[in-house]
Amino acid sequence: SDGSNIDASRETWDRHRHVREVPTDAFGDINFGGLGQKTGKYVRVSTDTSPEVLYHLLTEQWKLSSPNLLISVTGGAKNFYLKAGLKNMFHRGLIKVAQTTGAWIITGGTHTGVMKHVGQAVRDYALSSSSMQGQIVAIGVATWGVIHNRDTLVNSEVR
């Protein structure tokens, strides 16, 4: 449950009382509009899923190469303006570091704030001819409740 049916005027939301864990029914492949045939993978997991289980999923099931470096880009979700030169420098620098080190880029996975700039950098790289040089791994970790059209991500074959 995402807690959306809780009457906020009467009761404070509590994860232990209002969340019921069940085997995930939200996983699979996702197509990113505007990127041609580019697809990614997604899965809904519990907040207390162990890092070992997630690492196994990413490397053994999804066949991602083990990272040499993790780049975690965090910050507020408040949108801000970057001048074109600074934005281009951020995009090029992030992609260059990820490419040359075999890094995974981990971010909040939403289209706001600094996370939006990370997403745009990865998108621009995927659309460029230089993307043939190597894969960039970008992992967005967002809460289920903020995902737009999340119901379409539920795998109906699991039910």
- Give me the pLDDT at residue 57, please: 94
Higher pLDDT, 10 or 57: 57
Taken in order 7, 20, 40, 138, is the CA torsion positive or negative? positive
Average pLDDT for the chain: 82
pTM for this model (two decimals): 0.76
| pLDDT confidence band for 112 (50 / 70 / 90) | confident
pLDDT in tens, 123-149: 888 877 655 567 889 999 988 888 888
Top pLDDT among 33 and 65 is at: 65
Q: DSSP 3-state assignment of 28?
A: strand
Choice among 3-12, 29-38, 69-78 with the minimum mean pLDDT: 3-12
What percent of the chain stands above pLDDT 70?
84
Q: Are 94 and 118 in contact (CB under 8 A)?
A: yes
Kind and range of the H or E run holding 104: strand 104-107
Residues 6+ apart with CB under 8 A from 17: none
- Residue 158 confidence (pLDDT) above 60: no
The residue type of 98 is: A
What's the pLDDT at 1?
A: 47
